[in-house]
Amino acid sequence: MTTPGIVITGASGRMGRMLVAEVLASDACRLVGALERPGHDWIGRDLGEAMGGAPIGVIVSDDPVGTIARAQAVIDFTSPAATVAFAELTAQARAVHVIGTTGLSPDDLGKIAAAARHAPIIRAGNMSLGVNLLLGLTRRVAAALGPDWDIEIVEAHHRMKVDAPSGTALMLGEAAAEGRGATLDDLRTPAREGMTGARIPGSIGFAAIRGGDVVGEHDVIFAGPGERVVLRHLATDRAIFARGALRAALWGQDKGPGEYDMADVLGL
Ligand SMILES: NC(=O)C1=CN([C@@H]2O[C@H](COP(=O)(O)OP(=O)(O)OC[C@H]3O[C@@H](n4cnc5c(N)ncnc54)[C@H](O)[C@@H]3O)[C@@H](O)[C@H]2O)C=CC1
Ligand SMILES: O=C(O)C1=N[C@H](C(=O)O)C[C@H](O)C1
């Protein structure tokens, strides 16, 4: 039996490079393609050489149709527009699509849901074991603490991150809202600036810090009368996300069409 062939999109990106290394180090799969955006200077080059090492026989391509046709799984950490386009092509190829891209709009999510009618899509704003455990803890603490406890989510990321709040912060906010028997749309408070007025009771607030090379830090703060509870996750190595994504790609091999998340993959 041959191992599943994996295509990595955005192969030159911060996550793309981690994913390539993770797939090449695994005996459970093969790297069968690497995609970059048209005009990128890696197009047409051997991926191993482009990454500064020995050739590996995979040429970086800007042709998603031909490349994805060879894949049993596509691991995709790129941009919302690229991910929506890849979702359609991956569904046509009946391959597993693992989506790590964040900043997706409701319209993007609708298109991804449509693609998932034809093939499995596993999507999470954070693929790490630690954050996915923290989601369950956040749900439980939010349920246990009453409405006198204000919920605020603070996240910090590197200076190149383009979306805010982070995908992880939004997942944590959704978990906190679920703990309160509501949705994040019900409880989310707009970003604060100027004369905001006092805090809306029961709302969930977000703050985003951007700077340097911070991999990803998230605090869920429960601020009550006279005390605070803080749940924290600190990512210090992007390999945690790549490891989770590859695990998802392999897990998805025998799954039917539909939308899945890391709780499904990890059995949480
Ligand atoms: N879910 C998770 O666990 C994680 C999610 N992310 C998310 O992954 C995404 C990417 O993050 P980074 O790697 O830091 O960004 P990056 O900017 O370093 O990499 C993105 C790559 O995608 C490429 N790309 C863009 N459009 C493309 C197209 N049409 N075809 C092929 N390649 C294309 C870019 O050229 C670039 O190389 C972000 O949305 C980020 O929030 C990042 C880390 C963990
Ligand atoms: O852009 C990043 O770097 C990260 N993005 C994800 C997010 O938006 O939460 C996951 C991780 O925090 C790193």
Per-residue confidence (pLDDT) for residue 172, from 0 to 100: 98
CATH number, domain with residue 199: 3.30.360.10
Q: Is there a single domain that holds both residue 169 and residue 95?
A: no
Q: Is the pLDDT of residue 210 over 80?
A: yes
Q: Is the pLDDT of residue 146 over 90?
A: no
Q: Is the pLDDT of residue 28 over 80?
A: yes
Q: Is there a single domain that holds both residue 85 and residue 175?
A: no
Q: Is the pLDDT of residue 94 over 90?
A: yes
Number of domains in the chain: 2
Catalytic residue, chosen from 97, 157, 218, 233, is: 157
Q: Is there a single domain that holds both residue 151 and residue 184?
A: yes
Q: Is there a single domain that holds both residue 117 and residue 227?
A: no
Which long-range contacts does 62-70 make (Cβ < 8 Å, 24+ apart)?
62/35, 62/36, 62/37, 62/38, 63/35, 64/9, 64/35, 64/89, 65/89, 67/7, 67/33, 67/34, 67/35, 68/7, 68/33, 68/35, 68/92, 68/93, 68/95, 69/93, 70/5, 70/7, 70/32, 70/33
Q: Is the pLDDT of residue 246 over 80?
A: yes
**Strand duo 216-224 + 96-99: pairing:** unpaired
CB 264 within 8 A of CB 122: yes
Token digits of residue 264? 């499904």
CA of 77 to the centre of ligand 2 (A): 10
| 78 Cα nearest atom in ligand 1 | 22
CB 177 within 8 A of CB 147: no
Task: Choose among 245, 263, 252, 258: nearest CA to 99.
Answer: 245
Catalytic residue, chosen from 97, 111, 161, 255, is: 161
121-144 pLDDT tens trace = 999 999 999 999 999 999 999 999
Token digits of residue 35? 């995609």
- Give the residue, by CA position, lying nearest to ligand 2 atom 10: 126
ipTM rounded to 2 decimals: 0.99
Q: Is there a single domain that holds both residue 27 and residue 91?
A: yes
Q: Is there a single domain that holds both residue 53 and residue 77?
A: yes
CA of 2 to the centre of ligand 1 (A): 29
8-17 pLDDT tens trace = 999 999 999 9
Q: Is there a single domain that holds both residue 139 and residue 176?
A: yes
What's the half-sphere exposure (Cβ side, CA atoms, 13 Å) at 89? 20
Distance separating alpha carbons of residues 141 and 121, to the nearest angstrom: 29
| Owner of token pair 């906010």 | 173
Residue 157 among the catalytic residues: yes
Q: Is there a single domain that holds both residue 99 and residue 201?
A: no
CB-count exposure of residue 122 (10 Å: 0-12, 13-18, 19+)? buried
| 169 Cα nearest atom in ligand 2 | 9
Query: Which of 132, 153, 166, 215 has most ligand 2 atoms within 8 Å of CB, for mutation?
Result: 166
Distance separating alpha carbons of residues 150 and 186, to the nearest angstrom: 15
Query: What is the rounded average pLDDT for all residues in the chain?
Result: 97
Could you tell me the pTM of the whole model? 0.98
CA of 183 to the centre of ligand 1 (A): 28
CA of 161 to the centre of ligand 2 (A): 8
Helix (H, G, I), strand (E, B) or coil at 77: coil
Q: Is there a single domain that holds both residue 164 and residue 96?
A: no
| 155 Cα nearest atom in ligand 2 | 12
Q: Is there a single domain that holds both residue 106 and residue 159?
A: no
CATH number, domain with residue 92: 3.40.50.720
Per-residue confidence (pLDDT) for residue 147, from 0 to 100: 84
Q: Is there a single domain that holds both residue 144 and residue 118?
A: no
Q: Is there a single domain that holds both residue 21 and residue 88?
A: yes
- Give the residue, by CA position, lying nearest to ligand 1 atom 37: 13
Least confident of 11-15, 99-103, 121-125, 190-194: 190-194
**Strand duo 150-157 + 216-224: pairing:** antiparallel
Q: Is 167 in the pocket of ligand 2 (CB under 6 A)?
A: yes
Confidence of residue 222 (pLDDT cuts 50, 70, 90): very high
Please tell me which residue, 146 or 115, carries the higher pLDDT value: 115
Confidence of residue 182 (pLDDT cuts 50, 70, 90): very high
What range defines the domain where residue 22 resides?
A: 5-123+238-266
